[in-house]
Each structure stands twice: as structure tokens, then as C-alpha cells.
Amino acid sequence: MKKVFLSLLLVLACGVTAIFHPTQVKADSGLTYTVDAVLPDNQRDRNLSYPDLNVKPGKDQELQFKITNSSSRKKTFVVEANDASTSDGIAMIYSRHNSHLLGSPQFTQMVDSKSRRQIIRVAPQSVQQISITLHYPQDTFSGVVVGGLYVYDKSVDKLKKSKGFSLNNRFTYSVGIQLRSQEQKVLPQLNLGNVKLTTMNHHSIIAAKLFNNTPAVIGGLKTRFTLKTIKGKTVTKYRADNGQVAPISKFTVGIPLVDKQLSPGRYVLTGKGQSGTQIWRWRKVFYIDRKTLDKVNRDSVDVDHNNPIWLWILLLILVLLTILVIILVKKLKEKKDEDDEI
């Protein structure tokens, strides 16, 4: 029943998403539309395909985008303006309507209520222009505010429902939007929070909660974790590369425990994160109790429920007892035969 740990599939977020490079997914078979930003005058870098803007406090701005329907059918699109958040696969995403970020200002706090969610209909082989209105805060803000457009084809949902198909493979499109009111850079901080034993997608994991409390993007993140018993015996090691963390966001790193047998007791998780020249180090002592361990073992496909270890021990004892009984019976029979001869 052992299976390859699948937690990194969360990065895919049930679809095909283009993050900060929206034109890159045009080659994907099955994606019959594109979303492109019309870059405004306050664009910082014209070589970028997504809005990266210097904004003025207290001003309003309307951002323009174009949806191209390259199919032969009329399409209905859902367009959401969401905050950037961080998935448990350590990727920046825009699909969460409520991201529960760790501070302010937030992108969705600047988005006009009418722009948060729009239904857009586009004729076949045509282009439709859409816009979102932003209201910038009265005061300047440090670092960057990141959000984005999250677009999906509602027509496909209707088609799949009518044919009884699953909606798990929805093709989506995302365009990032980055805002700043001053050029001063903010150094990100990445802190380790709660650590616990749990399951993710029915796999046993050590869940380590990480927090980026700063208004800064962490790119190219490398993470390394080592789990040890309190006595220093290594249980497992885990590494992940090329992570991207949204500003003022939190996420969970799932450290897989495939084929690892744990016992109740105290454990130590040490870790290291690196982005460019910045390095963060973490250490957390935590306790796994019997109740939690039993629950995780019941829920996890990594534990062979059909053949638990105690059953093998019991069978071995029964086999040994059977052999011992056979030997004793044989010896008693031999002794009886000897007595009969006398």
C-alpha cells in the first residue's frame, strides 16, 4: 500500500496557472483563451508582461486587460481580483478569494467592490477588454502589495456538468499585479511557527507552519528540514527548491513520513531557508502523543492497515508454539514407545 508522497501536487491547484508570465501558457493544449495586461504609464519595467506599478497615495487607477477567445465557441469567464497568497507547495497563487493575510495594506482592500468578481462573455475568435478599479491608500506603504487576476472558463464547467465529468481539471489563468509607493526595499523575514504530526491527502506528514510577516516577495526559496528524536536519532530529511512566497502570507510545509514508524514522545525539527544571500534557521521541539499518533495511523495510507506489525508478531509466536508442541508430542510418543518395549 506504499505510495509516492503526493503533497507537491497542491502546487498545481487543480489546474494550469500562469503566474507573472501570463503569455507563457499559450502553448498548452486545451487552453483556448489568454489574458493579457495593458501596461499603464506608471509601469516600472516595460519588459515585464504583468503590471508592476509605482502608485501615488490617495489616487484611483483603472487597470485594463484583454481576454482573447481563440475557440470557435462563445465563452463565459469568471474574473476574480484576489490577493497573492502562498500554497502549501510553496508557490505564489491568486485563486483564494479569502487569503487571511498577516497584515495591511492588502490588494483586495484597494480593489473596488464591483471589480472583485466579474462575469465576462466573449464571442468566438474575438477579444474583450475588461478593467478593474483600484483605490490606493492615503499614506505611502512599505515594500510591495501583490495581488492578481484569477480567470477561469465558466462555459467548461457547464459543459462538464452536463456530461457528468469531474471539474478537477479546470484550466485557469492568472496575471500578477505588483504595487509599490516607494522604492525602499524591505528585507523579508521567514519564521517557523507550530509543528505537528498530521495527514495531508491521506499521507503522514510533519506539518511545519511558516510565516512571512513582511511586505516582500521571497523568490527562489530553498528549504531543508531534518526531523530527529529528542535523543538525536535522525528520523527523516526533506528538501524543496524554487519556492516563491507572497508578502504577509503563511503556508505549511509538509514533511513526508512514508515508511517511517514513529512512537509517542518528543521530537526536534531543525530547518534552514535560503533566498539569494538571505538565510533563515529554525528549530522547534514538539511532542507527539499516543492519541494523535493513533489517529494519524488510522487516516494514513502510508500505514499498512491490513498487516499491522503486532499481527506478524502474534503469528510468529503461534508458529513457534506450534513447533514446540509438535516437538513435545513427538518426544512423549518416543518415551511411551520405549516404555512399552521394556
**pLDDT tens-digit profile of 61-100?**
999 999 999 999 999 999 999 999 999 999 999 999 899 9
How far is CA 74 from each of CA 32, 69, 77, rounded to the nearest angstrom? 11, 8, 10
pLDDT for 155 equals: 76
pLDDT for 29 equals: 46
Dihedral (CA of 72, 76, 80, 81) sign: positive
Lowest mean pLDDT among 127-141, 152-166, 183-197, 277-291: 152-166
Which of the four pLDDT bands, split at 50, 70 and 90, describes residue 30?
A: low
Q: Let me know the angle formed at the C-alpha of 98 by 62 and 195, rounded to the nearest 5 degrees.
A: 135
Which of the four pLDDT bands, split at 50, 70 and 90, describes residue 26?
A: very low
For 190-215, letters b (16+ CB in 10 Å) and e give bebeebbbbbbeebbbbbbbbbbebb
Domains, the chain, with CATH or none: 15-180 (2.60.40.10), 190-299 (2.60.40.10)
Rounded to the nearest integer, the mean pLDDT of the chain is 86
Burial class (CB in 10 A: 0-12, 13-18, 19+), 71: middle
By residue count, the chain amounts to 342
Region 228-250: mean pLDDT is 97
pLDDT for 160 equals: 53
Which of the four pLDDT bands, split at 50, 70 and 90, describes residue 31?
A: confident
Query: How many angstroms separate the CA atoms of 243 and 91, rounded?
Result: 6
Q: Which three cell numbers stand for residue 340?
A: 512399552
Residues 105 and 138: beta-carbon distance below 8 Å: no
- Looking at the predicted structure, is the pLDDT value of residue 311 above 70? no
pLDDT for 294 equals: 92
pLDDT for 11 equals: 35
Beta-bridged to residue 285, according to DSSP, are 268
- Looking at the predicted structure, is the pLDDT value of residue 147 above 70? yes
Residues 170 and 155: beta-carbon distance below 8 Å: no
- Looking at the predicted structure, is the pLDDT value of residue 340 above 70? no
Which of the four pLDDT bands, split at 50, 70 and 90, describes residue 158?
A: low
How far is CA 309 from each of CA 97, 229, 290, 315, rounded to the nearest angstrom? 45, 21, 17, 10
pLDDT higher at 220 or 201: 220
- Looking at the predicted structure, is the pLDDT value of residue 12 above 70? no
Q: What is the pLDDT of residues 251-260, one digit of tens each?
A: 999 999 988 8
In the chain, the percentage of residues whose pLDDT exceeds 90 is 68
pLDDT for 342 equals: 59
Which of the four pLDDT bands, split at 50, 70 and 90, describes residue 299?
A: confident
- Looking at the predicted structure, is the pLDDT value of residue 35 above 50? yes
Which of the four pLDDT bands, split at 50, 70 and 90, describes residue 2?
A: very low
Region 286-302: mean pLDDT is 91
Region 101-125: mean pLDDT is 97
pLDDT for 13 equals: 35
* Sequential DSSP letters for 228-258: EETTS-EEEEEEEEEEEE-TTEEEEEEEE-T
Query: How many angstroms separate the CA atoms of 250 and 211, rounded?
Result: 4
Which of the four pLDDT bands, split at 50, 70 and 90, describes residue 333?
A: confident
pLDDT for 103 equals: 95
* Sequential DSSP letters for 153-176: EHHHHHHHHHHT--STT--EEEEE
Region 50-70: mean pLDDT is 97
- Looking at the predicted structure, is the pLDDT value of residue 216 above 60? yes
Q: Nearest 10 degrees: CA dihedral of 16, 22, 26, 30? A: 30
CB atoms closer than 10 angstroms to residue 292: 15
To which residue does cell 465557441 refer? 73
Which of the four pLDDT bands, split at 50, 70 and 90, describes residue 341?
A: low
